[in-house]
Structure 1
Amino acid sequence: MSMNTLIKCTASGLLLFSLNGCALDRGLSPESGGEQVSITVKVPQNLAAEPMQVIYRSAKCPIKRSGPDWSSFEVDGYLTTTVQPLQQGNSNLYETKLAINGGGGCQWQLSNVTFGVTYANTTHFGQKVKPASGGGVIVMFDHHLAQRRSAFDPTEEVSGDLLIRKDYYPRVSEHFIGGHEKLAWLVGEGGTYLYYRAPNARKVKFEPILHANYVLYSVGPKVKEKGNFTRYTYPDGSVVADRISDPNFKKLQAIRLEQSR
């Protein structure tokens, strides 16, 4: 190996050695002018666009895993990075553009992106109300499952660009067991996240519609005893408290549509 080759190999970062003895650079290094996907979030009042969690994968830089019988096998390596979407002028649109081919010695390929909205301002709910989860989206650009989901979560398959326009409702929950706290959530038709697989999408836009005047309140039990359940009070004044109750998105939709007639 010549001195020039040694210098080039060392400068690239000694993280993974190739067959010729040079260390592969495991960092992202997308080509200028390469193909990109644009992800835009339209942010309602009192909410904020969350930082985007971006996963790239590489078949060229695999990692080893162990099976239940202690056998060893390889899976595609992955790299995680966080990107803060940028506000577009004075609008409520926040956008980031991500390289499809992340480049580098590992030839990283965009795998999935987690993004969404959460409460930035909760003062209208009262004092000491903290923002919680809800309003999340995961878009997968390859065949891999995202880290934050199981094989049982429903995934919508999309052939082209993706427009996500969904209804959300505020939920303010009060908890006592394990410490007193109040949290502001977003209740949508899915769970914390909506899941999409869109390998050909080059434009992804998320437009959450927040029905801020239709608040679901819930109060948890103060003592963990049989027969003590979380009490849900819906915008129409109806109350539900039983063993199997969770925030009911369909009920919230029905209340809003009935009252808007």
Structure 2
Amino acid sequence: MKLAPPAIWILLFVSLNGCAKDRSLAPPPDSEQITVTVKVPKELKARTMQVMYRSATCKRVTHGASGQRIEVEGHHSIDVQLQRQGQSDLYQASLPKDGGGACKWHLANVIFGVVYADPTRFGANVIWGAGGGVVVIFDHNNSPMGGADTEVEGDLTIKKDYYPRIDEEFLGPYKKTISLVGEGSIYRSYEALNAQQVYFEPVLHSDFIVYSAGPKVKKKGNYTVFTYPDGSVVADGRGGPDFQKLQSIRLAAESKK
């Protein structure tokens, strides 16, 4: 169930093996707050933010390859909706770093980002694909998406370029998706141990769409075909569009204006 932020701290209960304490999240009134802000382009929307707290006090039990009992930090994830700030394009959520309670929860990581508000604007059967995601880690543990690609000191400001990708897949069930192409992987991942402010500004270049179509027959040498905004066609076996090529096409076009 997705809860609005004011209700989270009242209604959240965590079920963890081996923890006999009151498991509720109870941030102290003076807890340091971490504020996450996303500047959302008009064609996109802020996705629901996944927030994970961890506890070294209330551990959970797992088992190794030989069946041995292993105790690790307890954790629990909750969903938080970023709230629009007035009539602006800024969406925000404030999270207590100290989760409090008998389990002494601490904020471990958040996963958030942007998605297309209406994928069907690209066609009746078009669905959301991937991209536009951000992971921020506030402790020394990996997130559900793995470790961090970048470590930062202090507050974190992310401003990155993104391009629309319309993709058709023919092998297996047919599907057509709209995704966001950015530099690096689907999720940009940061470790920001001392951040109080996290700001994410995706810059969407809507006029520079890259199209891709997977092979219709599974055969050696049949690759996904990418058609770039300048009309060039590439099928070189890569799994995704060439971000630097997209940047070059856009910058060249803008320089001619």
Q: What TM-score do you get using the length of structure 2 for normalisation?
A: 0.89
Q: Tell me the residue number matched to 1:140.
A: 137
Q: Tell me the residue number matched to 1:188.
A: 182
Query: RMSD across aligned C-alpha pairs, in angstroms?
Result: 1.9
Q: CA deviation at 1:176?
A: 1.4
Q: Which piece of structure 1 moves more, 222-231 or 63-72?
A: 63-72
Indicate yes or no: 2:242 matched with 1:248: yes
Q: CA deviation at 1:15?
A: 6.7
Match of 1:60 among 39, 57, 61: 57
Q: Tell me the residue number matched to 2:203.
A: 209
CA contact (8 A) 1:46 1:120 kept: yes
Q: CA deviation at 1:225?
A: 2.1
Q: What TM-score do you get using the length of structure 1 for normalisation?
A: 0.88
Q: CA deviation at 1:131?
A: 1.4
Q: Tell me the residue number matched to 1:197.
A: 191
Q: Tell me the residue number matched to 1:90.
A: 87
Q: Tell me the residue number matched to 1:231.
A: 225
Cα distance in 2 between the residues matched to 1:256 and 1:244 = 21
Q: Tell me the residue number matched to 1:131.
A: 128
Cα distance in 2 between the residues matched to 1:248 and 1:13 = 43
Q: Tell me the residue number matched to 2:154.
A: 160
CA contact (8 A) 2:17 2:59 kept: no
Q: For each residue in 1:137-183, what CA deviation from the matched residue of structure 2 results, as whole angstroms up to 9, or x when unmatched?
A: 0000000001112x5xx521111011100000000001111112210
SS at match of 2:45: strand
CA contact (8 A) 1:115 1:137 kept: yes
Kindly provide the amino acid, as one letter, of the partner of residue 69 in structure 1: S
Q: CA deviation at 1:16?
A: 6.9
Q: For each residue in 1:193-238, what CA deviation from the matched residue of structure 2 results, as whole angstroms up to 9, or x when unmatched?
A: 0011001101101000001100000011122222221110000101
Q: CA deviation at 1:259?
A: 1.2
- Aligned length, in residue pairs: 243
Cα distance in 2 between the residues matched to 1:248 and 1:227 = 19
Q: Tell me the residue number matched to 2:3.
A: none
Q: Tell me the residue number matched to 1:8.
A: none
- Ranges in structure 1 where 5+ consecutive residues have no aligned partner: 1-11
Residue correspondence of structure 1 range 22-41 to structure 2 within 5 A? 23-41=20-38
Kindly provide the amino acid, as one letter, of the partner of residue 117 in structure 1: V
CA contact (8 A) 1:16 1:26 kept: no
Match of 1:78 among 57, 75, 83: 75
Cα distance in 2 between the residues matched to 1:92 and 1:244 = 35
- Ranges in structure 2 where 5+ consecutive residues have no aligned partner: 1-12
Q: For each residue in 1:60-119, what CA deviation from the matched residue of structure 2 results, as whole angstroms up to 9, or x when unmatched?
A: 011122223333221111011110111111111110000101112211000000000011
SS at match of 1:200: coil
Larger Rg: 1
